[in-house]
Structure 1
Amino acid sequence: MRVAVVGGRGKTGRAVVAALTARGVETVATGRAEWDRLAEVVAGCDAAYVVAPNLHPDEPAYAATVLDGLVEAGVGRVVYHSVASPYAPQMPHHLGKAMSEDLVRRSGLAWTLLQPGAYLQNLDLGAELQVPYDLDATFGFADLAEVGEAAAVVLTEPGHEGATYELATRVATVRELAAEAGVHAVQVPNTTGGALGAMFDHYDRHGLPVGTRVLDMLLGRNP
């Protein structure tokens, strides 16, 4: 089996490549350098995992271009990296994910959508932890390596076509994670603008709850 990982040089792409490699799967990781010849680079691949750049200003356009390239290259299977709660109007980049999901569903390819929660690795638990949102907001946090493993499962095992999976490793608050790590956590003002600032505002009000049972199922472990 040969799998293209579009966006394979970022942290998510590298995690997916590592998980696929551990299963003995040949991978083709693409980045910006291959953008103008994507169809050529992914030709001969059986499937593709697609990760858009973080906070992409027009993810639907990105997704449309990639999907066209996959169709042109004859890649019949796609797994798209989305986000938990994609239809969240307060968060523009989440809406971009929701629109991209629609394009994937209508692409004519066999598809699966993965919707991970916030990465545990985005929190710096080695020093005082400062976040611009409520320390007691509930999140479904996802471990990056486990997201990679889940991607490898749905890419290499049958029965996942047409499925949409929310992924979280554990449910917790930032305060709880900081306490477990023995570090002090503090909420700081949200002075960030744009899509990132809007995301923090949403987190402050609502958190980002995600259940853990789906990831447990995909990884074959008891809850």
Structure 2
Amino acid sequence: MILVTAAGGMTGLAVTAALRRRGLPVRALVRGRRAAADLAALGAEVVVGSLRDDDVTAAALRGCDAVYLIWPNFDADEFAGATRLARRACEAGVERLVYHSVLRPQLERMPHHWEKLRVEEFLDTLDVDHRVVQPCAYLDNLGGQLDAVRRTGRFTSPWGVEARLSYVDLRDVADAAAVVLTTDGLDGGTFELCGPQGLDADDVATTLARRLGRAVRAVDAPPGAAVDYAGRCLALMCDHYREFGFTGSPFVLEALLGRPACTLDDYLASLADRAG
């Protein structure tokens, strides 16, 4: 049995789906009942409750031999919470733990990256086979703008129009995660998961225009004033991307997948196919 934590988010749902496509038994730990129905429809066994509740995590871990550890985005308590859960997984007899980190966690300027680096460091102290995946920004976050772009002809970028990012398709991330979870001989490995294109906002707008059959222009749209920890993390992330971009190599991802990684065109085509 494989436990997927924070399974109700887009990453958890995608990883659960990838594992179920392989016929693997999955237990999904999720906070809300709405996502629980989606996970149950995938064939997962569902546990509803908080990652911070020891009784809930004990029940979720019971009988599991592997864990895919996702912690909610932009959480100031990620180090304390994720390390506690990892330790409890070891105590429960879990044999393999995969941690969902982020590309370049060593970037101290971004607190949510730094929290993940500290979790990675902690995993080295545990007596368990552990692996780490480090994805870049998701193409799927661009997909959330499609309806607005279709209406307005504007593609907005919170990190300006010149920064290049190696956007990765979440389906590729999930398929790679399944490989990392289920393949022997990867103990202690860290796997960067980046898409095959370094795209700036104008590149994205050009591709969207071709796909949508209308003019699209890229618009710089910095985030608003930060009012909480998550907002501060988002603002600092956008500042970093704006100044330096956020790119990496697709080599590791494509080696895990055994095929080319999806491009923005591939991703948009898949959305059209899913829409019928």
TM exceeding 0.5: yes
Bigger strand share: 1
Q: Pick one of 189, 206, 226 that aligns with 1:179.
A: 206
| One-letter identity of the residue aligned with 1:52 | W
CA RMSD across the alignment: 1.4
- Give 5+ residue unaligned stretches, structure 2: 32-48, 210-215, 227-231, 262-276
- Residues 192-211 of structure 1 mapped to structure 2, 5 A cutoff: 192-193=225-226, 194-211=232-249
- Residues 96-135 of structure 1 mapped to structure 2, 5 A cutoff: 96-123=115-142, 124-126=145-147, 127=149, 128-135=154-161
Q: Of the two, which has the highest radius of gyration?
A: 2
Q: What is the match of residue 74 of structure 1?
A: 93
Q: What is the match of residue 174 of structure 2?
A: 148
1:219 aligns with 2:257: yes
CA 109–192 in structure 1, closer or farther in 2 if over 3 Å, else same? farther
| One-letter identity of the residue aligned with 2:13 | R
Question: Deviations for 1:26-81, whole angstroms, at most 9, x for unmatched residues?
Answer: 00000231532212221111100011101111211011121122012111210000
SS in 2 for 1:74: coil
SS in 1 for 2:249: coil
If the length of structure 2 is used for normalisation, what is the TM-score? 0.77
| One-letter identity of the residue aligned with 2:126 | S
SS in 1 for 2:166: strand
| One-letter identity of the residue aligned with 2:12 | G
- Contact persistence 1:134–1:205 (CA under 8 A): no
Q: What is the match of residue 4 of structure 2?
A: 5
Displacement of 1:106 in angstroms is 1.7
Aligned length: 222
- Give 5+ residue unaligned stretches, structure 1: none
Farther off after superposition, 183-192 or 144-153: 183-192
Farther off after superposition, 114-123 or 187-196: 187-196
Distance 1:57 1:49 in 2: 20
Distance 1:188 1:105 in 2: 40
| One-letter identity of the residue aligned with 2:255 | M
Tell me which of the two structures has the higher relative contact order, counting C-alpha pairs closer than 8 angstroms and 6 or more residues apart.
Answer: 1
Q: What is the match of residue 19 of structure 1?
A: 18
CA 85–43 in structure 1, closer or farther in 2 if over 3 Å, else same? same
SS in 2 for 1:158: coil
Structure 1 runs (4+) deviating above 3 angstroms are none
- Contact persistence 2:160–2:221 (CA under 8 A): no
1:50 aligns with 2:69: yes
SS in 1 for 2:187: coil
Distance 1:54 1:24 in 2: 28
